[in-house]
């Protein structure tokens, strides 16, 4: 178990509940945008801001500003987003199409501790 700020735990719980109804997501306006950019700052302690979500078929650009060096990947989205290195010194951008709805754990492997830690959940809503 990782140490996570209480609000991260709360968001994880909310995301877990939302897993039952991935259709109850963002409004139609949010889904109408053809592309979306998500900033995320992973660290071994979690992800900020909390729960990234998009709509199916959107082009997603992740802008990853990591606190430490490591490797990030999204379980269940490995074909669209192969595991990629992030660095404490650089911002890493990766773009892909979110072709499948569902909830996909975001896992971070820091360079210091290669054991994977789930830092958050990437949600793809049905539009
Ligand atoms: Cu992993």
CA of 63 to the centre of ligand 1 (A): 19
Nearest by Cα to 51 from 105, 92, 5 = 105
- C-alpha 42/C-alpha 81 separation (Å) is 16
Distance 73 CA to ligand 1 centre (A): 6
Average pLDDT, the chain: 83
Query: In order of start, what are the domains of the chain with their CATH numbers?
Result: 6-125 (2.60.40.420)
Give tens-digit pLDDT for 66-107. Answer: 999 999 999 999 999 999 999 999 999 999 999 999 999 999
Rounded Cα gap, residues 6 and 86, in angstroms: 25
Q: What is the pTM of this model?
A: 0.75
């Amino acid at each position: 178990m990782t140490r996570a700020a209480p609000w991260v735990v709360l968001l994880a719980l909310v995301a877990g509940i939302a897993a039952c109804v991935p259709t109850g997501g963002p409004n139609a306006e949010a889904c109408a945008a053809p592309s979306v950019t998500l900033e995320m700052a992973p660290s071994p302690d979690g992800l900020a801001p909390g729960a990234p979500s998009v709509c199916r078929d959107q082009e997603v650009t992740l802008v990853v500003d990591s606190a430490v060096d490591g490797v990030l990947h999204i379980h269940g989205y490995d074909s669209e987003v192969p595991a990629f290195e992030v660095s404490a010194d650089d911002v890493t951008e990766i773009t892909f199409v979110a072709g499948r709805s569902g909830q996909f754990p975001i896992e971070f492997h820091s360079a210091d501790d290669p054991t994977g830690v789930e830092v958050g959940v990437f949600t793809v809503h049905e539009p």
